[in-house]
Chain A
Amino acid sequence: MTPHVLKHIISFKKLKVGFKTVRDTAKAMIFSREKWILAFLEYQKPCDETFAVRCKGIFFEIYEVIPLKNRQLEIICNNEIAPDVFCLTLGGILFNEEIHPGQFVNIHVPGKSLRRPISVSRIYGDRIDLIYKIVGEGTEILRNIKSGYLDVLLPCGNGFDLSAFQNEILIIGGGMGVAPLFALTSEAIKQCKKVTVIFGFRSPKDAILEEALMNLGVDYHFCFDSEGVNVVTMREQLGMSHMPFAACGPLPMLRALCSMKDADTVHERQNLINDDIYGQLSLEARMGCGFGACMGCSIETKQGMKRICKEGPVFNSKEILWDKI
């Protein structure tokens, strides 16, 4: 579900109202941040300007749920931006209305049976940038497609929730995990938050998006495994180990980010998850469908089973059961 403000009435932080069109009637769902559905409402379309939901005397924000659809998107360009890393630009619809940072698209790669889920790294007008690494047969085919149209399912999953951060946000990415975080950085700046970015790569030649971050004028720090500095140590150096963060990257990195800072080994870190740190983590998985039907990417969380493609890919760090993933 994509929360999208349809009509702002009175903001009430803990609750959101989902709005879903089902044929000629529309349904509104009120759910808390934990997604417990508190109430269902049904009303006839079209809803007028004054439409509001009243529940126990409080007005809520009305969100529209953008339906997931498959669309034919035009390939604008598809170029190598680092060794084995490509940036695919697609065009066709007004994406700002449709995609939020952290959501992904699911691409039908000609000749492959399963779609390829790829996060969106830049959303601008009628274009989106997708950054992907050549890792297997699907991406190998994709790199060679330079023009024409692709069948793309979007928007998939739930993105980052910037409203959960106060004025400051630390954005941490590792390897290809930096891709969705660039969209988040742009959006956070647009919302006038104080943003610090830490991106980690294997070596300087693998670094991407530096120029783009520079153009945003954001405070950013790059670190490289080849130089013995990773994002966790960089975060410590910057004295930001306790700051709420949003992150995407390899699982050991995410786990380390949520751990006590004096844990030395990965094994220790597993057992020393620090519950005082708040983070939003974007996870990845091999997916069957990408829209919640096949249960191919479910993980066990503190709130039960959740699908990375549907309830995720962004999770609250506190709901993750680290020994289950």
Chain B
Amino acid sequence: MGQNIDLSGMMIDNPLIPASGAFGYGMDYQDFFDVNEVGTFCTKGTTLHPHKGNPLPRIAEYSGGMLNCVGLENPGVETVVREYFPKLRNTYHKKVIANVCGFSVDDYIKTAEIFDREECVGLIELNISCPNVHAGGAAFGKDPSIASEILTEVKKVCRKPVYVKCTPQCPDLVLMCKTLEASGADGLVLLNTWLGMRLDIRTGKPILSNITGGVSGPGIFPLSLYKIYEVYKNVNIPIIGCGGISNGRDVIEMMSAGASAIEIGTELLTDPMALPRIKKELSELMDTYNITELSEIIGRAHK
């Protein structure tokens, strides 16, 4: 039984990838399970300079999951490669996906360039979809011309595959994805969180400090699934599916819709043992449904 997946030359031995922002820099789950069980993982969204993020409260809840407005808190790319990566290598032996964020085109280029030189980075995930920052982030991800400009510039300085993580706030996602493919994207990550809000029942005021936040969790799964289904019909590059996956069944569905691999976020926060659990469920489901090679089910919904 095979779960090997090829992400533009980066081979992973299973399709389960902790999503950016839910796994830090890989060191917060070591108490719970051997982190080498992941296919690979996405680092916390990293910017050129250290970024403090938004004030508290950054977290709210809804019946289908959660909302966050962390706002890209990170120590900056230099600290990550100089301090975090060497520590990470003590326990984690696979490659990582470096999630690159920025507030200007130049930020993206410089950050990606630094990550690209790191041996442990297998792939660059260009994050033009963070909903919680006031400059850059999702603002870039809604405009195909800016998005393709960033991608083109980043591709010039990177030898490693570059995937673009898109926002569901993009008015025409299919057009965006086709534009990115034409501009040289090696793959797509669909999707970042959905913009939403919660109000305090007593005061009637927003709970989150940033007023809005990114909605995630099992409640958005059907929405993400549909978007991936739609985009898959229109592009020929690999898609990493992301949005509300909480069990092995969701993984099979997402891959059937067209995802080559999947990212898990919120479920890891509520159940830190979710990754080994989903991995086991996936193996059992492959048995049940006689799936011998997982890669063969990618996009089977369309056949």
Which residues of A are at the interface with B, using a C-beta cutoff of 8 A?
Answer: 22-23, 27, 67-70, 108, 112-115, 137, 153, 285-289, 291-300, 305, 310, 324-325
Q: Determine whether the beta carbon of A292 is less than 8 Å from that of B24.
A: yes
The reply to whether B58 and A296 form a contact with Cβ atoms under 8 Å apart is yes
Which residue of A has the minimal Cβ distance to B273? A70
B80-116 near A? 1/0 per residue, CB < 8 Å:
0000000000110000000000000000000000000
CB proximity to A under 8 Å, residues B1-38:
21-24, 28-32, 34
Asked if residues A289 and B269 are in contact (CB atoms below 8 Å), the reply is yes
Tell me the interface secondary structure of chain B in the complex.
loop
Chain B residues whose C-beta falls within 8 Å of the C-beta of A288 in the assembled complex: 58-59, 66, 68, 269
Q: Which residues of B contact A (CB under 8 A)?
A: 21-24, 28-32, 34, 44, 52-53, 55-66, 68, 70, 73, 75, 90-91, 207, 217-218, 266, 268-273
Instruction: Give Cα A296–Cα B52 distance, bound, in whole angstroms.
Output: 12
- Residues on B with C-beta less than 8 A from A297 are 56, 58-59
The closest CB in chain A to the CB of B218 belongs to A113
Q: Contact at B59–A22, with CB atoms within 8 Å?
A: no
B24 / chain A contacts, CB cutoff of 8 Å: 292-293, 295
A70's contact among B68, B70, B272, by CB below 8 Å, is which?
A: B272
Question: When chains A and B are docked, how far (Å) is the Cα of A296 from the Cα of B71?
Answer: 9
Report chain B residues within 8 Å CB of A285.
56-57, 59
28 A-B residue pairs with Cβ-Cβ distance under 8 Å, sorted by A, are: A22-B30, A70-B272, A112-B61, A113-B62, A113-B64, A113-B65, A113-B66, A113-B266, A114-B269, A285-B57, A286-B57, A286-B60, A287-B59, A293-B268, A293-B269, A294-B269, A295-B44, A295-B70, A295-B73, A296-B58, A296-B68, A298-B53, A298-B73, A305-B52, A305-B53, A310-B28, A324-B55, A325-B55
A135 closest partner in B (C-beta): B202
Complexed CA–CA distance, A153 and B53 (Å): 26
Question: B56–A69 contact, CB under 8 A?
Answer: no
Asked if A293 contacts B29 (CB within 8 A), the reply is: yes
Highest count of chain B CB atoms <10 Å: which of A113, A114, A298: A113
Give every chain A residue within 8 A of B56 (Cβ-Cβ).
285-286, 297-299, 325
Please, how many angstroms separate the alpha-carbon atoms of A113 and B218 in the complex?
Answer: 9
- Known contacts A113-B65, A114-B66, A294-B22; A108 and B73 CB within 8 A of each other: no
The residue among A153, A287, A295, A298 with the most chain B CB atoms within 10 A of its own CB is A295
